[in-house]
């Protein structure tokens, strides 16, 4: 099944910023919130020898446009992604999404089954409404996550200042950017695509193989949500011991291995 947006509207959408490198089967890289293609600094060199790598700056982030009327829902992120990939001649591909990008990748793969040959979800914040958790500890933890995100959205100066501090400590330069330019994209993406999401049902709808990669020390993951996804039959799991939310070199190697696993499976199927 493929959801197609009205052509008249799609033609009017500005394209997202894209960087391309390499040749071979196509891999599309989708970064997370408040970031850019810089997210995949350690991944791209590992993929380029065998793949065409298409790295996309999401709507409102990096060098991509920030339309005044954008609402930054998952649906809208997917709409702009579809328009951009079609304009760049991207057909069948493996999707690799990090954090928010993994949620967008899941929706894209679920609604574009004819082109999504595999999905690699890296550090996915799979969240559910607090009341859906039977365990009171997990229910409380989920509520705390949501309240923390609401606090970040409502306290602009605090969030921008502390994001800048975290960015200076990051091992990858410019991997985290929250500023005046992307503030609206940041807060609305957080509210409409992370706090409110349908990732579990989207992943269940994906017909291609799904590879789940995450660090055991990632502070943004919700174990209860991950547990549901890990039990799905088409999902394979790669846990990176000691890894956090950033794709450092060790996690990058695991991501590249996951992509190779999907590509090999596709080759065998043909």
| Cβ-based neighbour number of residue 73 at 10 Å | 17
Indicate whether 17 pLDDT > 90. Answer: yes
DSSP single-letter state for residue 53:
E
Mean pLDDT value of segment 33-46: 98
Q: Pull the structure tokens for residue 210.
A: 């799904």
Burial code of 182-206, b = ≥16 C-beta within 10 A, e = fewer? bbebbbbbbbbbbeebbbbebbbeb
Mean pLDDT value of segment 29-58: 98
**Gap between the Cα atoms of 122 and 211, Å rounded:** 8
Q: Give the pLDDT confidence of 160-194 residue by residue, as tens digits.
A: 999 999 999 999 999 999 999 999 999 999 999 99
Mean pLDDT value of segment 213-242: 96
Beta bridge partners of 213: 122, 238
Mean pLDDT value of segment 14-19: 97
Where are the strands (E) in 57-153, listed by range? 93-98, 116-122
Helices (runs of H) and strands (runs of E) counted in the chain: 10, 7
- According to the model, what pLDDT value does residue 12 have? 78
Q: Give the pLDDT confidence of 194-222 residue by residue, as tens digits.
A: 999 999 999 999 999 999 999 999 999 99
- The total number of residues shown for the chain amounts to 270
- According to the model, what pLDDT value does residue 214 have? 98
Q: What is the mean pLDDT of the chain?
A: 94
Residue 240: alpha-carbon gap to chain centroid: 18
Residue 191: alpha-carbon gap to chain centroid: 15
Indicate whether 8 pLDDT > 60. Answer: no
- According to the model, what pLDDT value does residue 240 have? 98
Domains with residue ranges and CATH for the chain:
7-126+198-265 (3.40.50.1820)
DSSP single-letter state for residue 179:
-
Indicate whether 250 pLDDT > 80. Answer: yes
CB 126 within 8 A of CB 225: yes
* Contacting residues for 258 by C-beta, under 8 A, at least 6 apart: 120, 211, 213, 236, 238
45 membership: H or E segment, kind and range: helix 44-47
Confidence of residue 265 (pLDDT cuts 50, 70, 90): confident
**Gap between the Cα atoms of 230 and 120, Å rounded:** 13
Confidence of residue 266 (pLDDT cuts 50, 70, 90): low
| Cβ-based neighbour number of residue 130 at 10 Å | 17
Indicate whether 54 pLDDT > 60. Answer: yes
**Gap between the Cα atoms of 209 and 212, Å rounded:** 10
- According to the model, what pLDDT value does residue 193 have? 98
Confidence of residue 264 (pLDDT cuts 50, 70, 90): confident
Percent of the chain scoring above 70 in pLDDT: 94
Indicate whether 267 pLDDT > 90. Answer: no
Where are the strands (E) in 16-98, listed by range? 18-21, 26-30, 52-56, 93-98
Mean pLDDT value of segment 114-127: 97
CB 146 within 8 A of CB 220: no
- According to the model, what pLDDT value does residue 13 have? 85
* Contacting residues for 219 by C-beta, under 8 A, at least 6 apart: 244, 245
238 membership: H or E segment, kind and range: strand 235-240
Indicate whether 269 pLDDT > 70. Answer: no
């Amino acid at each position: 099944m493929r959801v197609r947006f009205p052509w008249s509207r799609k033609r009017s959408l500005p394209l997202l910023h894209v960087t391309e490198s390499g040749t071979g089967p196509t891999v599309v890289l989708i970064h997370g919130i408040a970031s850019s293609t810089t997210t995949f600094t350690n991944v791209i060199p590992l993929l380029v020898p065998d793949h065409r790598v298409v790295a996309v700056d999401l709507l409102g982030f990096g060098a991509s446009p920030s339309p005044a009327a954008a609402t930054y829902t998952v649906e809208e992120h997917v709409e702009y992604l579809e328009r951009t990939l079609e304009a760049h001649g991207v057909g069948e591909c493996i999707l690799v999404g990090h954090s928010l990008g993994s949620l967008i990748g899941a929706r894209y793969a679920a609604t574009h089954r004819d082109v999504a040959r595999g999905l690699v979800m890296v550090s996915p914040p799979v969240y559910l409404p607090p009341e859906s958790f039977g365990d009171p500890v997990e229910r409380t933890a989920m509520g705390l996550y949501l309240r923390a995100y609401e606090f970040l959205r409502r306290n602009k100066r605090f969030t921008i200042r502390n994001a800048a501090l975290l960015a200076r400590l990051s091992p990858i330069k410019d991997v985290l950017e929250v500023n005046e330019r992307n503030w609206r994209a940041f807060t609305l993406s957080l509210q409409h695509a992370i706090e409110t999401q349908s990732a579990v049902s989207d992943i269940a709808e994906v017909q291609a193989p799904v590879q789940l990669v995450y660090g055991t020390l990632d502070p943004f993951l919700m174990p209860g949500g991950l547990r549901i996804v890990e039990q799905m039959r088409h999902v394979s799991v790669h846990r990176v011991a000691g890894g956090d939310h950033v794709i450092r070199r060790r996690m990058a190697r695991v991501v590249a291995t996951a992509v190779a696993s999907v590509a090999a499976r596709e080759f065998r199927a043909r």
